[in-house]
Chains A and B, each alone.
Chain A
């Protein structure tokens, strides 16, 4: 999968709030061009699992839609499984799948099995082949009699698993997953995650995954793409991302007695202060010196140095909107 300088600009209505604004807009439409994605380039090898990170509105979904051929890019080009997505050739469509956590393709009033049979026909699978694949996926996802119960009576987790079945019945080589674990409880999230790992191992499928749950990303994706403001600014190993995002380390202190916040300013950035428990962020280069001074100058009972958790780093990044 290759993206070269991919870009998408939307025209949006420029409308003032209120009735007056609405009337003016109705009479004379004004539009603004808003770039949703700008100059995104990357290459993903077959069989890779890549996490696609970014805050809401960063351009993740737009990029996924360009890669799946749902929208035409306004700049650049993409190649997925050897095809140009927006041409939507049959070979391309049978090679990919898109799972969207907030949209569903299963028929609401009927059991998942009915939807699966429709998909089998659409993808030209004969009955015995379809049955074999349904059995295999059902076993991997631990679905049984749920497949014969109307979708509206399934729990969110069961429904998501059935959605995955419907999306994977044609054995796509490239999986696009947009928030597949949205709204699921922790257990269901973990099961979906485990399934994706198994599926990738079994079929060698390429996976591009967006998720709001960092646990999904850390468990699944050795490599991440980070997008912000429509631009790609990190592409590499998740482990290295923390160095890049956080040239500091986290120091936890346990003090003999509580001290006021100002006390810690000379040593580093104060993250939290809870009585005698303190969390500081200290630049990597000054770590040794700062720790030595802390131990010398303050009544320290216990000290622990660690990497700040990746969720926190990314959250920080998205809040502040800057790269370190």
Chain B
């Protein structure tokens, strides 16, 4: 068991080492990705500032009952999660479709290593790292401005909830990517997920009741951004954090079970 952990850790190091080396072959591409990230963030800030008239206030009724700095916390969490997906989730999970299309999934399945691990951790894109940093700064900075006390308990709670958010997002994405075993190229489901996640830029209460239900129950967008933001603002209790971890674990297990089920139907692209 211990040696297996070491083997996976070593493999991950090699995975990411080669991924970085591969991307350094194309510096321009890396630069463009960074610029796109900056543009995205500026756009979000601009839209939010429109809602609040000017950014100096914070007293107004705001968006769905959230003040300007509070809404900024949500945007911070969103940016952080988006950074995580640009760094880890998108580069890996969007490749699954290609693997199925080109039949290179065969090579993954023939390796004595967990195929879900391989497909989920094969590569890493540093272009998303600044976004993570900006998101973190925005989240904490806006939290302080909103008057929250960032003590150890709050930070631990935030960390746990962010972890669950990331895991839920990952599991959902992986579930959708798994369907490519059946639908191959006709269906790039992950784009739908990205669009839905974009709804998490703004506090969940800013949306009409119908959408709010959809984002809470059907697609857990509320879980992904609003709940961690509430934790930053000190409005979430311990049991909530545990519940979110439970939900995350549930989604993870579901994604594993579904992947194993899907493999039974994999026929591998013919030569």
Q: Which residue of A lies closest to B26 (CB)?
A: A109
* Bound CA–CA A121/B15 (angstroms): 9
* Bound CA–CA A120/B21 (angstroms): 18
- Specify which chain A residues have a CB less than 8 angstroms from the CB of B106 in the assembled complex: 65, 68, 70, 98, 100, 103
Indicate if B14 sits at the interface (CB-CB under 8 A): yes
Contact B21 A122 (CB under 8 A): no
- Which single member of B3, B110, B264 contacts A98 (CB below 8 Å)? B110
Indicate if B103 sits at the interface (CB-CB under 8 A): yes
User: Given A118-B11, A122-B111, A179–B18 Cβ distance below 8 Å?
Assistant: no
Indicate if A107 sits at the interface (CB-CB under 8 A): yes
Q: Which residue of B lies closest to A57 (CB)?
A: B270
Number of A-B residue pairs, CB cutoff 8 Å, is 79
* Bound CA–CA A262/B164 (angstroms): 85
Per-residue interface assignment for chain A, residues 59 to 73, with 1 indicating a CB less than 8 Å from any chain B CB and 0 otherwise:
001000100111110
Indicate if B151 sits at the interface (CB-CB under 8 A): no
Indicate if A93 sits at the interface (CB-CB under 8 A): yes
Indicate if A94 sits at the interface (CB-CB under 8 A): yes
Per-residue interface assignment for chain A, residues 257 to 274, with 1 indicating a CB less than 8 Å from any chain B CB and 0 otherwise:
000000000000000000
Contact B110 A110 (CB under 8 A): no
- Specify which chain B residues have a CB less than 8 angstroms from the CB of A118 in the assembled complex: 11, 14-15, 18
For chain B, the count of residues having a C-beta within 8 Å of the partner chain is 29
Indicate if A114 sits at the interface (CB-CB under 8 A): yes
Indicate if A150 sits at the interface (CB-CB under 8 A): yes
* Bound CA–CA A319/B21 (angstroms): 50
Shortest CB–CB separation between residue B261 and chain A, in angstroms? 12
Q: Which residue of A lies closest to B19 (CB)?
A: A107
Indicate if B104 sits at the interface (CB-CB under 8 A): yes
- Specify which chain B residues have a CB less than 8 angstroms from the CB of A123 in the assembled complex: 111-112
* Bound CA–CA A119/B112 (angstroms): 10
Contact A70 B110 (CB under 8 A): yes
Contact B110 A93 (CB under 8 A): yes
Per CB-CB distance, the 10 closest pairs between chain A and chain B, nearest first, are A93-B112, A105-B107, A121-B11, A121-B14, A90-B112, A121-B10, A124-B7, A109-B22, A118-B14, A109-B25
Can you list 26 A-B pairs with a CB-CB distance of less than 8 A?
Answer: A10-B267, A61-B270, A68-B110, A70-B109, A90-B112, A93-B111, A96-B110, A97-B110, A98-B106, A98-B107, A103-B107, A103-B271, A105-B104, A107-B18, A109-B25, A117-B18, A118-B11, A118-B14, A118-B18, A119-B111, A121-B7, A121-B10, A122-B7, A122-B112, A122-B113, A178-B271
